[in-house]
Amino acid sequence: MAAPNLYGSFVKSPVGGLLAKQLGLPRPAHLPRRADRDELVLSPAVVLGDSTGADDIAARLLDWGADVRRRADDTGSVGSLLLVLDDLRRPEDIAGLIQQARAAVKKLQPGGRIITVSRTPDGADPVVDSARGAVEGLLRSLGHEVRRGATANGIQVAPEFPLSAVSVEHALRFFLSARSAFVDGQLLRIDADTGTAPADWNQPLAGRTIVVTGAARGIGEAIARTLAADGADLILVDMMNAGTELSRLATELGGRPVLADVTQERTTAALIAAADGSPIDGVVHNAGITRDKLFANMTQDRWEAVIAVNLRSQLAITRALRDEDALGADYRHVGIASTSGIAGNRGQTNYAASKAGVMAYVDALAGDLAESGGTANAVAPGFIETEMTATMPVVTREVARLLNSLHQGGLPQDVAEAVAFLLSPAAGGIRGETLRVCGQNLVGR
Ligand code: NAD
């Protein structure tokens, strides 16, 4: 059960709304999710950039049914703005787009999307890298500036791969669509031309067997529901004491429930048995706990419990599944991290350590899995409305909710969408990344 949103309800009231307007207080906008918004691309879509990459992206958006313009002054409003900066040679090259981009930003619709598409600095030429690096500052600042539920995100593609790579298409679809409603100010790196397009982009996980841990409630339940809608065959794991909820959910989604503690060695055998001979195509390591205390009062028990569930279980289950040869060739590992693991958080040394460990682990594991076409990535949620955050002290919770560019907490579904995105066969070029789902939380990157 999510906690009441005192500030959010106040600014929605007539008096609160008026006060917020006069005092310049943040007013959270409604963020359309997949059930509210059908179209993949909000039109008109303005594609700026002179490269052949920009032409290709404009053509692709036309194929997806968008009303595409190559100049901002051709249209009264802008649904999506794509800044294609894949051919930068010098920092001053960006200036050529500023006038048109500025005009487009001014016309951005509520819930609009800005996406930069650029190249990853690769160390070959410091001048070129300075220009490529500059794009990151541009997009992250745009994320802070745009209002009314609009977002800005970036796709950074390794220089040796074409913008037609399937993972670039996949990332464009994600950032343009309502699936990325609470992802803001993020830069996603694509470092390989691997991955395969699904037969049906609306059922991208059809035929894939995927394990979700901690699935009985909260974010895990939302992940299970989203993956089921995307066509996955599910194996759902949670503790014995969550058995009733887990069984009910598994029955509803046509998945298989496994009552097990992820810290126990025998859990892997139960997963393999539940897969019933099918390779496991993905594991979402979502089970997680908090045992908050200031470090001065941190007991060894609290420390160990959090590290065991949030981090060591991921290592042990992955190693055991690999030893048993139970994973599919283009396996997808998704670890749930947290923005606490990026920025740190008072009272959460144990939790932040476990989550920072998850991010480092997926980075290393991605290298190991690359040869077989497998990937490992993490999703780092910020403030999400769940039972976990409902237990926070009320003032801390109200403040934490507002401290991001979208001025609201995310929904479990927002994390689930990012997980589904990384699980797709089309995400083969995204490796070792941590994708934040935090509305561009003001702490950390
Ligand atoms: P939650 O407490 O609502 O749900 C966690 C689920 O994991 C529960 O069903 C629980 O029974 C299960 N679980 C716990 N220990 C387990 C174990 N040893 N074996 C099997 N299952 C176990 O939490 P949530 O808010 O839904 O969080 C899910 C994940 O997202 C966690 O990893 C959490 O750290 C992370 N996260 C949450 C937030 C947030 O704002 N809620 C923010 C950042 C990260």
Q: How many CA atoms lie within 13 A of 339 on its CB side?
A: 21
287 CB under 6 A from ligand 1?
yes
Q: Which positions are annotated as active-site residues?
A: 351
129 plus 85 within the same structural domain: yes
pLDDT digits (tens, 9 = 90+) for 337-362: 999 999 999 999 999 999 999 999 99
Residues 156 and 269 in one domain: no
In a domain, 261, yes or no: yes
Q: Which amino acid is at 389?
A: T
Model pLDDT, residue 31: 96
Is residue 23 in some structural domain?
no
175: nearest Cα among 117, 225, 133: 117
Does ligand 1 lie within 6 Å of residue 217's CB atom?
yes
Say how many Å lie between the CA of residue 24 and the centre of ligand 1.
36
Query: Token digits for 378?
Result: 């993490």
Do 290 and 217 form a contact (C-beta atoms < 8 A)? no
The rounded Å distance from CA 384 to ligand 1 centre is 11
- The structural domain count of the chain equals 2
CATH number at residue 236: 3.40.50.720
Q: How many CB atoms lie within 10 A of CB 26?
A: 17
Percent of the chain at pLDDT above 90? 87
Domain of 84, in residue numbers: 31-190
Phi, psi angles (nearest 5°) of residue 338:
-170, 150
Adjacent-strand bridge partners of 333: 283, 376
Quick one: pLDDT band at residue 150, thresholds 50, 70, 90? very high
Shared domain for 153 and 244, answered yes or no, is: no
Give pLDDT tens digits for 110-145. Answer: 999 999 999 999 999 999 999 999 999 999 999 999
Q: Which of 225, 240, 241, 388 to mutate to test the pocket of ligand 1 (most atoms within 8 A of CB)?
A: 388
Q: What is the mean pLDDT of the chain?
A: 95
Q: Is residue 213 lining ligand 1, measured as CB closer than 6 Å?
A: yes
Q: Quick one: tokens of 92?
A: 């001053």
Is the beta carbon of 239 within 6 A of some atom in ligand 1?
yes
Predicted pLDDT of residue 301: 98
Number of residues written out for the chain: 445
Cα separation of 272 and 251, whole Å? Answer: 19
Give how far Cα 10 sits from Cα of 14, 27, 77, 409, Å.
Answer: 9, 10, 30, 15
Instruction: Give domain status of residue 10, yes or no.
Output: no
Our mutation pick for probing the ligand 1 site, out of 211, 261, 266, 286, counting the most ligand atoms within 8 A of Cβ, is 286
Index of the ligand 1 atom closest to the CA of residue 216: 9
Is the pLDDT confidence value at 70 over 80?
Answer: yes
How far is it, in rounded angstroms, from Cα 23 to Cα 251?
50
Q: Looking at the domain assignment, is residue 415 inside a domain?
A: yes
* DSSP conformational letter for 154: E
Is the same domain home to 397 and 296? yes
Q: What is the pLDDT of residue 420?
A: 98
Residue type, 294: L
Q: Is residue 15 part of a domain?
A: no
388-442 tens-digit pLDDT: 788 888 888 888 888 999 999 999 999 999 999 999 999 999 999 999 999 999 8
pLDDT, position 444? 65
